[in-house]
Structure 1
Amino acid sequence: MSAYTNEIQKKPVTVARHIMRGHTGWVRGIVHPPGGRRIITCSSDGSLRLWDLESGTQMGDNWRDKGDDGDDGDQVFAIALSPVGDVVASGSYDGTVRLWDIEKGKVITKWKGHTKRVRSLCWSSDGEQVVSGYHHGAVIVWDVKTEKSVLGPFETGHEHVLAVICSPDTTKIATGGFNEHAIKIWGTKTGELLSTIKHDSHVSSLAWTSNGKKLISGSQDGLIRIFHTATWQQIAILEGHQDVVLAISLCSNDRLLASASWDTTARLWNLETNLPVGPPPLQHQEFVECVAFSTDGKLLVTGSADHDAYLWDIHAILNDAGFQDLLSSPDKVYSAP
């Protein structure tokens, strides 16, 4: 048993409100549709599933779609929610990007431009484009209305594209990946490389603040770095994780960050001080693969290699830690409901 494990076991443990069980593979992605009452998860078991957050139970049947080989679903590595919140994009092992109607749980359309394993996805803030990152280093920009590729596939230089995200003004795409220690910034219309931001290890997760002024990365070395987008200079490092930071999620007010790591924890960060919130991390039994805030920031869901998804009461955690105001907008005073 490691010294780190001993340290964790001595600290108080925060308990998940619900554990959502049903997937038979790693939970790879999570999105929160509008309303705050449901989530959608995707898994390497080949399914997407809709869950009720009040009860922690699955709603309806598994969402599956046959692959080109006729199999009933393929491993799903990533999902991303449209800005309106009515459609979810998924990326699969067979290289297909699918758009799903959330209310029907059915595929609207399929795009095939990658040959294998779509590892990362994002929507543009205007909802007009979806960007997909491929296991072998290429990126494609898809037009949602025409259902055609408008850019790419273009090679990024990453061996595997583990993270892709559009800037809030839709003019740039940031990518991170394996075997190249950097974030790369690309022009959305041309695919031109605009900037390279060096790291000490590979970049596995990315988040852009809603005002576009900061870009945040999670890396293999367990560090979270914050960059000012006007200069691409590093302005902060968040330290605490002991292994790769595989996913990060920003609260909608840009004041609170959640991170998920292969050190079996998820952590909360105060982005006004760049310090952790409260002493105990959110402890899991296996790798934490994904993390996502609800729209109001009061709930957090994590997905794990143990096949389960976990619901955490962030409102209560912040109250206990004395950070209630982190759920308010920066110019407003928080008041509990």
Structure 2
Amino acid sequence: MVGTQSEKEEKVSLELTEEILQSMEVGMVFRDYNCRISSMDFHRTSSYLVTASDDDSIRLYDVSSATCLKTINSKKYGVELVCFTSHPTTVIYSSKNGWDESLRLLSLHDNKYLRYFRGHHDRVVSLSLCSRKECFISGSLDRTVLLWDQRAEKCQGLLHVQGRPATAYDDQGLVFAIAFGGCIRMFDARMYEKGPFEIFSVGNDFSGANVVKFSSDGRLMLLTTTNGRIHVLDSFRGTLLSTYNVKPVSSNSTLDASFSPEGMFVISGTGDGSVYAWNVRSGKEVATWMGPKTEPPVIRWAPGSLMFVTGSSELSFFVPDLSKLAAYAGRK
């Protein structure tokens, strides 16, 4: 994407450190969006990235060649959240039209709907796919969380919540989390109907839940809330390890955050459009990238790569600046 092939290989072989994180800069930007990017997702095993935008478009990128492969418009239904299935050109996405809250299984290859998932009666605000099985969960402002099988149109399970829910599967697909009302509820995916097997508190933060995520090894969790806080917890004990405070977001925005691949760092947007990075072990802020936007960007770290991507009214790829790293090594 930026630099020679040998430079790319050197980047991949480097272990992420604070110095590498601090050196990261925008390597490339796609500025052809007319509206805010509302969601994006990396495919787990390919080099593909998919984005959803408020201009009702879904775009597929090949990160390895830095090209936009396809743009598909969803003018009739709108689009807000999008996630890859196990197939690199098949996605599930949520509507944003106010009259049809169905989820859709879409083939990006030939722009065909493969299945509709009907059951929610208000806007879907959380969507998480299981990486090991063909199932997923969705959370809605109708105060329900629905469990789905990609092969069936009707939901396989229903859970009631008290507030806006944030949902996430762990990497193994054995556990899923539902956050709302200042707590994270942990469910065994095989026996969810028995209720949560653990309930973790995040202190006195009872504001609305934005996103909940597991680290790739499943040992950590993060929760972002509407009052501008990012909580990191031990996912086994529920111990609150650290809390980071950023500028709160508006009621129409979502505070997003992402673990780095090995779980050592958390990167997050903020209400003024900036991006921050923290060291999970020390809890200290280690890097800041100032943004000109007033909306918090959507953030995803590329799996197994020294690259993260932010989406606001443009799509920005952050990669290490090798010249900065060489200068740092020289000073040492």
Q: Same fold (TM over 0.5)?
A: yes
Report the equivalent of 2:5: none
Q: Structure 1 residue 99 and structure 2 residue 101: aligned?
A: no
Distance in 2, matches of 1:319 and 1:296, equals: 20
Contact 2:265 2:277 in 1 (8 A): yes
Partner of 2:214: 208
Equivalence map 1:3-82=2 (5 Å): 16-33=26-43, 37-53=47-63, 58-60=68-70, 62-65=71-74, 72-82=75-85
* Aligned mates of 1:131, 1:117 — CA distance in 2: 14
2:230: which partner in 1? 224
Measured in 2, the distance between the counterparts of 1:26 and 1:289 equals 9
SS of 1:63's partner is strand
How far does the alpha carbon of each residue in 1:121-155 deviate from its partner, in whole angstroms, 9 at most, with x for none? 11113132111111222111101233431111x21
Q: Matched residues in 2 for 1:35 and 1:213: separation?
A: 22
Conserved 8 A contact 2:86-2:131: yes
Could you tell me which residue of structure 2 aligns to residue 118 of structure 1? 124
Structure 1: gaps of 5 or more residues: 1-11, 66-71, 324-337
Contact residue 272 and residue 291 of structure 2 kept, 8 A? no
Q: How far apart, in 1, do the equivalents of 2:156 and 2:324 lie?
A: 43
Q: Distance between the aligned counterparts of 1:295 and 1:184, measured in 2?
A: 26
The 2-side partners of 1:264 and 1:101 are apart by 32
What is the alpha-carbon distance in structure 1 between the residues aligned to residue 95 and residue 241 of structure 2? 35
Report sequence identity in percent: 18
Contact 1:36 1:294 (C-alpha < 8 Å) held by counterparts = no
Q: Residue 190 and residue 37 in structure 1: after superposition, are their counterparts in 2 closer, same or farther (change >3 A)?
A: closer
For 2:212, what is the secondary structure of its paired residue?
strand
CA contact (8 A) 1:258 1:268 kept: yes
d(CA) in 2 for partners of 1:55, 1:296:
17
Secondary structure of the 1:142 match is: strand
The residue aligned with 1:310 is 316
Q: 1:46: Cα distance to partner?
A: 1.8
Using structure 2 for the length normalisation, give the TM-score. Answer: 0.77
Q: Does the Cα contact within 8 Å between 1:45 and 1:74 map onto a contact in 2?
A: no
User: Residues 112-151 of structure 1 correspond to what in structure 2 (within 5 A)?
Assistant: 112-151=118-157
SS of the residue corresponding to residue 81 of structure 2 reads: strand
SS in structure 2 at match of 1:19: strand
Q: Distance in 2 between matches of 1:97 and 1:237?
A: 33
- In the alignment, which residue of structure 2 is the partner of 1:266? 275
Residues 166 and 213 of structure 1: CA distance in aligned 2, closer, same or farther (over 3 Å): same
Residue in structure 1 matched with residue 185 of structure 2 by the alignment:
184
SS of corresponding position for 2:76? coil
Q: What RMSD in Å do the two structures reach over aligned CA positions?
A: 3.0
User: In structure 2, what residue type is equivalent to 1:208?
Assistant: F
In structure 1, distance between residues paired with 2:211 and 2:261? 17
Secondary structure, counterpart of 2:276 in structure 1: strand
Q: Which amino acid aligns with 2:82?
A: I
Give the conservation status (yes or no) of the 8 Å contact 1:288–1:302: no
Amino acid at match of 1:224: I
Cα distance in structure 2, aligned partners of 1:87 and 1:315? 33
Q: CA deviation at 1:215?
A: 1.5
Which residue does the alignment assign to 2:177?
174
From the superposition, tell whether residues 73 and 320 of structure 1 become closer, same or farther in structure 2 (CA, over 3 Å).
Answer: farther
1:295 to 303, 307, 311: 303
* Unmatched tracts of structure 2, length 5 or more: 1-21
Number of positions where the alignment pairs a residue of Structure 1 with one of Structure 2? 296
State the partner residue of 1:251. Answer: 260
Which amino acid in 2 is paired with 1:80?
Answer: C
Decide which moves more: 307-316 or 51-60.
51-60
* Secondary structure of residue in 2 paired with 1:77: coil
What's the counterpart of residue 197 of structure 1?
201
> For 2:131, what is the secondary structure of its paired residue?
coil
The one-letter code of the counterpart of 1:30 is M
Matched with 1:157 is: 162
Counterparts in 2 of 1:316 and 1:283: CA distance versus 1, 3 Å: farther
Q: Aligned partners of 2:69, 2:83: CA distance in 1, in Å?
A: 19
- Residue 223 to residue 116, structure 1, CA distance change in 2 (3 Å): closer
Residue 290 (structure 1) shift: 1.1
Q: Output one character per residue of 1:96-131: Cα deviation in whole Å (capped at 9) or x when no partner.
A: 211223444443222111123111111113132111
Q: TM-score, normalization: structure 1?
A: 0.76
Counterpart AA for 1:285? K
Say which SS state the counterpart of residue 174 (structure 1) adopts: strand
